[in-house]
Structure 1
């Protein structure tokens, strides 16, 4: 039961990302790519600050004692949002999100295989390779429906 709940939450998270990409793409077209990314991150930061203050159960002050590489996630998030703001108006939400999912799975399978960020490595096998190939095919089909490749 819990696994289904977490899977459902992940699907909802995916819908949020897809919707965010569309909204940010329109915003970036209107005010600029970097500016749109900044506004998106700024509003998100305010919301998360309020949630941390009123609902948080952790200790935000411990951020100064974590290894510095663990703070790099913010840089990656800014890069992701900026890229999406730039590409969504050009290739559409479906193509952009499918490409993001391909990238996420390629790096995720690699990280799992080498046991990075997890205790027990999960080796790449034919099931995972087949899933990646099918996902690449879906990207080609979704993108081909949008426009010519070159």
Structure 2
């Protein structure tokens, strides 16, 4: 099995944890929405340079995609606003447990029904047990 993609996913998760704390601190100084805008702005500029120098796609093809596929940016902005707001209040780990739980639950539903053009991967008892354990960890992390 190729370990490259699971390792990249692990690094992506690590980046989200670090980003959450950094953005939470930024939000305390400049405001929640302002920090979210700054974070997205810096990311947009970085991606612009990456696309200019290494991009191989066609940005103009955006006019040919189904319009609902363009909401990904809105969902990303919502995610950043939520982390900027929540992390300073409950901490990185509890916030990320909630985020990961939400991702896995919705991901399992998307897979089960093959939503948004994805492959249909049915939910089984093992996945239901894993989701139940996620809720247990969410409770234990936030219970005092």
Q: Normalization by structure 2: what TM-score?
A: 0.96
Q: Is the 8 A contact 1:18 1:93 kept in 2?
A: yes
Partner of residue 64, structure 2: 65
More divergent stretch after superposition (109-118 vs 18-27): 109-118
Q: What whole-Å deviation, never above 9, does each CA across 1:77-109 have from its counterpart, x for those lacking one?
A: 000000110000000000001100000011000
TM-superposed CA distance for 1:120, in Å, is 3.5
| Cα distance in structure 2, aligned partners of 1:9 and 1:77 | 19
| Cα distance in structure 1, aligned partners of 2:76 and 2:4 | 25
Is residue 32 of structure 2 the alignment partner of residue 10 of structure 1? no
Partner of residue 120, structure 2: 121
User: RMSD of the TM alignment (CA)?
Assistant: 1.1
| Cα distance in structure 2, aligned partners of 1:78 and 1:9 | 22
Q: Which runs of 5+ in 1 are unaligned?
A: none
Q: Is the 8 A contact 1:37 1:78 kept in 2?
A: yes
Q: Secondary structure at the match of 1:122?
A: coil
Q: Is the 8 A contact 2:27 2:35 kept in 1?
A: yes
Partner of residue 20, structure 1: 19
The aligned length equals 144
Mapping 1:1-150, distance limit 5 Å: 1-2=1-2, 4-144=3-143, 148=144
Q: Normalization by structure 1: what TM-score?
A: 0.92
**Residues 119, 95 of structure 1: CA spacing in aligned structure 2 closer, same or farther, 3 A cutoff?**
closer
Q: Is the 8 A contact 1:112 1:118 kept in 2?
A: no
Q: Which runs of 5+ in 2 are unaligned?
A: none
TM-superposed CA distance for 1:62, in Å, is 1.1
Q: Secondary structure at the match of 1:121?
A: coil
